[in-house]
Structure 1
């Protein structure tokens, strides 16, 4: 199964999005396709028999274009023209690539491909597979905000030209209605017919140039019996222009009393809708600022040690193992481990943590964060698409492109919306022709055009994806990474949030407070063997044991045959002796008699301490006790969840006494203790059956199954990669308060989506009948096409502007 994301040009409303989705799904081999109208992207999953080129062809056949882009690579190892040909053939054969030119003299390869279908790293890998080394040339990535800004500039130019051409037409017509004697003055000076000819010329220029985009996009889709928003505008403006043109040059073809022109309606419709789309593009650009901000965090160059000197190297050319220098106040160029120096690193832009974190030799530093006052040297550990910042950008982009379940209703409605509007417009015209007052034809035209123009599928199509873009983007700024956009809706529905204990609610840095040996055992010898076995483990208890041995100055031998038993403990061999370290269940499984230390272990557990048993060569040797205090914000996080009406639970493999002590301290409602990973799954199922949708928060490898099984999985960002990759949402800072913040953000986003949908649907339900003239027989207004155009343009702007309010979430006003 392969997933690709393509940029689609020409989509303007939800009908367009539905048409593109249906065209993509009709391609053999495509299993799933979804369109994000706000980001103008198509995301498709496909198997054999389909590729990006087939998708592009299907989308193009449906009347839309796939954006094309170029990627430049630096290629090493070329020596002759045959090398050039070999690389070009390899690149051109890759799905989504439309062309490639390789320059032997400069060592460059310029690759043309469908935007979003392939990454620079993948293209470099293609060249490498052909036998050469390739590195993407640094180029500032185009964020959604930048694309929308470019679109806004283009629309601004079109709007200005349309406004300049429309203003004289508008002023002439309005003056005739609003200034006494203006109509007679125009008739006496240039004449009514000359005035109409001038209006014809200016309106024709509006439709032929700035308004041409409505015709070039709307007419072809109309001819294919697949009308969209452009079709409605094209029909409405063209109908007003055509009727007025006949009235100007062949008035005898019209019934007596109906000779009138509506050039101002046709021109003003185009101008107002261009204004609305320009404002909408600007607003959508602000909606995508989160990606632009994340992209701006990446430095362009790194101070790299090469051959005894330090050179400024483009970050794309960094490799794992390179040593880079970071000066005070600079952004860190890549993920790495500190090898020299000590400093404080500001990670707030990625994690939301307000306080800088101390970093010294051996500590990890994340690319894109800001170094403090100390100078550092880092050994690069991750680059390119594997870097933390790149992964975060990818997570945010994926989440912003997701389609929520609530969108399914919108899709079903918009599938028939535009054809239904056209049918209503036709019925409106017929009704006015049969029942309307004189001039019948004029009234019928005004009402029909108004219905076409006032309908706004754009607002319906933007209601959900724009809120998702802003909500997930704001979450990223706060260190809340929604890896899957639909987690927004699922988290809002959660009625229970269950937590793992160690490292999630507690600091995850236990301290060894007791090490009691069995009768006849030597304390230092036993501690040395246990620590040697635990040296290969990443478990927090292992770190507590190792810290104790370091404090005693004990040298550790090498362990072998180490095997972790998830939820139970660890087995290992040290200096020929077999060790078993873990829970009482591990001892039972290994057939070890724990009687000599059973009472002491029971007493320690009753005190709320975590107990670990150690056996050597099948005999109990020691009992260890560690304490792991709760995080400072854990109690307030639980209280915030309770205030939000959510129940809480603690699910842990630790002893019941320890778990209940932590739960009592924090105010947690329900405790499930002493469970293996599969036991956590069962606990989640029980909570779901008893209370409803359940979320789970964890950080370890043994939490991965529970994270996957829960309705929403939330991973602590300071936890393991397995947990992070399994979760729907990542809390970058590791602060449990982020759970309450994420729940509140999800509720705010879903509330915003419902407001948008309520406005979009309510607007159409109320105003389409008004535009049709249902109020006219009762003394109400007959809506002008110009007012209809203004209302339609305002509808989309209102929806996007409402979504932008989410950018203020979590900020003090």
Structure 2
């Protein structure tokens, strides 16, 4: 049996870290798969009963990336004295992974800290219950703290302190070089040695304080033989500090020409990289705003009818069946069905549609949407994790944690990147020592430190996931849900988009347009028999026949038996008569000659109407025609796809004439008509010869095709089965959203390519410069301070570039 756990992992800062965490987890016996998300700082693990979460947490700690601690709050019942408190604490502490407990008798609550991923609040509540004290996770515990905001605040404090300490160091070191009068004043008032001592003290405080994080993670990783980003920073700043310390306190160990200090380099390296990380954390926080905005759509309370009165209660206490009063302008608390009132609800935050949706009794409402000027009442149908909003948040979170195929190449490169940089830095030092001009040691030190500092695996690691994070978040705001992150890449590669017809390109609400009775039959009589046979069918065409019978006020006899003929029609026995409803194939296979009405059927099909033949007791009785109006935006959607160089196709069970007429009206390139449900997969296989193929559908019968397509796109107005089979869900029923999803996926992939080009190009170009490749030509040797600034800006550039995706679209309203 496969189990899953998600750990919050501390200490990851670059793609090398991601690779090492994944390898550490996959090395644990029983682990089937591990997927690490650098942006979210999480690791999702699939594992069997051969291991447990404690072993996984231990592997993370051994690798130097311990699982972060989480906190749960429990409401505990039945505690009456201090002994009860002690028993609950003992029970909770016995749960594997728990690190601290705090039980409060007065409030009847417990706070538990545990290693993330090793247990859950539900398991903790069960442990307390097993000790005899009923417990449950606290409903009002409030949202978890924003880790990105906390990280940005911590880095801001560290940067400010480092900057305050660095400024005097830089002034003393660089001011004396740049301003001769200042140099003279320092030499007269302080003296060179006192100046160096002040720089030593301030730099030591920086390295031991704000910069300690680099040494804590970097040196330990180095000792484990797994160097990463922090190791480069630690080695570079430590080398500059150690060299300068020797020059200050034991100058005799160095050649006279090489007796100089680089305290300002060590201090500035730490300060600039802290600045870069602070800006990066702030930018990543903005990148994840989409989910926070979605979470913010949930109101805290709702007004519920209970006991003959209306009470305001926490949303968490709502249950299915509750009747909720919705005031004008109020946000809908949970999913439900309108029971009273008529009005309009703004659903744009979920669907991306600008126009409000009309609501009357029987219409669904979705939690998080905003009511218009009319008061409504609705019956709750889903709460908590079962609501549409909760599922959207989960879908977006899952997609944001996914890896794209393009990331595999990055992972392979970054696995060796840091060791390669360290080897290159060592080689640079040796080359300068043996071939460089005097002072060779100084030049070797500067070049080696610059190589270590300028290399930036962070930008490589961030290039793909941060774009996915922003792109999928923006998609959620536009009503475009990518259920899997890799769907972004595959959709961007689509060469063919195939549509189901009914409910996708058309309204899915067909109406009867023609009724032609054969000689010897009365139109109303045949319509009543057909409607009786179709009474239990959910097919849109059946509903059109029933609606027309109802409009004519016909009394329907009882159907004794009815059976569906997939892709053909329906057979039934009604009022003692055998009824067959379907296409010409259905009648021919039953031995009934449809020739009498075929010419009329062809004429109606050419008008984009669906002909339906009705046979009674083995004779052709009537021809019905049903038309399903094409959605207003369908033609524009097809045109938009053509503008992007994508071929279009339509796969339909309708007659060739009807499907061809609709396709011609919309400008669709290729038509597959009279296709049985199981034949849609075969039709897709044919289309795949033209390239990566996406299929757009909305019905249960579309699920196999959605799963078989390279990319399945489900309309959110369709069935849950269709949406589960698809990789992309469009919350709106607008086919133009297909073009929007393709635009967004291409914009995201373009953004990823830009980030990767910058991340790799930056390193390819600047590492040789840092090593001194330009020195023979123009005497240029890159300062470690400039290297630190360039490295910090590299990561900031990647994240800032990805943030541009927040402004993508909305194309349909452009």
Question: What band does the TM-score fall into relative to the shorter chain?
Answer: over 0.9
In the other structure, the counterpart of 2:34 is 33
Whether the 8 Å contact between 2:492 and 2:746 is mirrored in structure 1 is: yes
Q: CA RMSD in A?
A: 3.1
- Distance change (3 Å), C-alpha of 1:57 and 1:539: farther
Q: Distance in 1 between matches of 2:518 and 2:198?
A: 105
In the other structure, the counterpart of 1:694 is 693
In the other structure, the counterpart of 1:663 is 663
In the other structure, the counterpart of 2:433 is 433
Q: Answer with 131-140 or 456-465: which moved more.
A: 131-140
- Distance change (3 Å), C-alpha of 1:453 and 1:375: same
| SS of structure 2 residue aligned to 1:358 | strand
Q: Report Cα offsets for 1:289-312 as digits up to 9, x if no partner.
A: 111111111111111111112222
- Distance change (3 Å), C-alpha of 1:425 and 1:78: same
User: Which ranges in structure 2 are unaligned for 5 or more consecutive residues?
Assistant: none
| SS of structure 2 residue aligned to 1:10 | coil
2:158 matches 1:137:
no
| SS of structure 2 residue aligned to 1:336 | strand
Whether the 8 Å contact between 1:121 and 1:136 is mirrored in structure 2 is: no
Q: Distance in 2 between matches of 1:156 and 1:131?
A: 44
In the other structure, the counterpart of 2:14 is 13
Deviation at 1:220, TM superposition (A): 0.5
Deviation at 1:460, TM superposition (A): 0.3
Q: Distance in 2 between matches of 1:713 and 1:160?
A: 50
User: What number of residue pairs does the alignment pair up?
Assistant: 810
Matches within 5 A, 1:172-211: 172-211=172-211
Q: Distance in 2 between matches of 1:653 and 1:126?
A: 56
Q: Distance in 2 between matches of 1:128 and 1:320?
A: 26
- Distance change (3 Å), C-alpha of 1:167 and 1:102: closer
Whether the 8 Å contact between 2:77 and 2:133 is mirrored in structure 1 is: no
TM-score, scaled relative to structure 1: 0.93
Q: Distance in 2 between matches of 1:738 and 1:403?
A: 24
- Distance change (3 Å), C-alpha of 1:719 and 1:560: farther
| SS of structure 2 residue aligned to 1:499 | strand
Q: Distance in 2 between matches of 1:440 and 1:57?
A: 46
Deviation at 1:595, TM superposition (A): 5.7
Q: Distance in 1 between matches of 2:4 and 2:559?
A: 43
Deviation at 1:205, TM superposition (A): 0.3
Matches within 5 A, 1:575-594: 581-587=581-587, 594=594
| SS of structure 1 residue aligned to 2:256 | coil
In the other structure, the counterpart of 1:419 is 419
Whether the 8 Å contact between 1:498 and 1:649 is mirrored in structure 2 is: yes
In the other structure, the counterpart of 2:442 is 442
In the other structure, the counterpart of 1:764 is 763
Q: Report Cα offsets for 1:587-635 as digits up to 9, x if no partner.
A: 5566666566555444433432112344567776554311012111111
In the other structure, the counterpart of 2:325 is 325
In the other structure, the counterpart of 1:734 is 733
Matches within 5 A, 1:605-616: 605-614=605-614
Matches within 5 A, 1:478-557: 478-517=478-517, 523-524=523-524, 526-528=526-528, 530-554=530-554
User: Which ranges in structure 1 are unaligned for 5 or more consecutive residues?
Assistant: none
Matches within 5 A, 1:204-603: 204-517=204-517, 523-524=523-524, 526-528=526-528, 530-554=530-554, 566-570=566-570, 581-587=581-587, 594=594, 598=598, 600-603=600-603
Deviation at 1:6, TM superposition (A): 2.4
Q: Distance in 2 between matches of 1:571 and 1:297?
A: 49
Deviation at 1:417, TM superposition (A): 0.3
Whether the 8 Å contact between 2:606 and 2:661 is mirrored in structure 1 is: no
Deviation at 1:501, TM superposition (A): 0.5
| SS of structure 2 residue aligned to 1:438 | coil
Deviation at 1:680, TM superposition (A): 1.1
In the other structure, the counterpart of 1:43 is 44
Deviation at 1:38, TM superposition (A): 1.6
Q: Answer with 256-265 or 232-241: which moved more.
A: 256-265
Whether the 8 Å contact between 1:481 and 1:730 is mirrored in structure 2 is: yes
| SS of structure 2 residue aligned to 1:264 | helix
- Distance change (3 Å), C-alpha of 1:586 and 1:398: farther
Whether the 8 Å contact between 1:319 and 1:383 is mirrored in structure 2 is: yes
Q: Answer with 305-314 or 569-578: which moved more.
A: 569-578
Whether the 8 Å contact between 1:124 and 1:136 is mirrored in structure 2 is: no
Q: Distance in 2 between matches of 1:118 and 1:587?
A: 62
2:67 matches 1:57:
no
Q: Distance in 1 between matches of 2:179 and 2:697?
A: 72
In the other structure, the counterpart of 1:800 is 799
- Distance change (3 Å), C-alpha of 1:82 and 1:504: farther
In the other structure, the counterpart of 1:682 is 682
- Distance change (3 Å), C-alpha of 1:601 and 1:95: farther
Q: Report Cα offsets for 1:302-345 as digits up to 9, x if no partner.
A: 11111112222222221111111111001100000000111100
Q: Distance in 2 between matches of 1:127 and 1:258?
A: 68
Deviation at 1:455, TM superposition (A): 0.4
Whether the 8 Å contact between 1:141 and 1:295 is mirrored in structure 2 is: no
Q: Distance in 2 between matches of 1:311 and 1:633?
A: 44
Q: Distance in 2 between matches of 1:487 and 1:751?
A: 15
Whether the 8 Å contact between 1:337 and 1:380 is mirrored in structure 2 is: yes
- Distance change (3 Å), C-alpha of 1:151 and 1:615: farther
Q: Distance in 1 between matches of 2:588 and 2:99?
A: 64
| SS of structure 2 residue aligned to 1:448 | helix
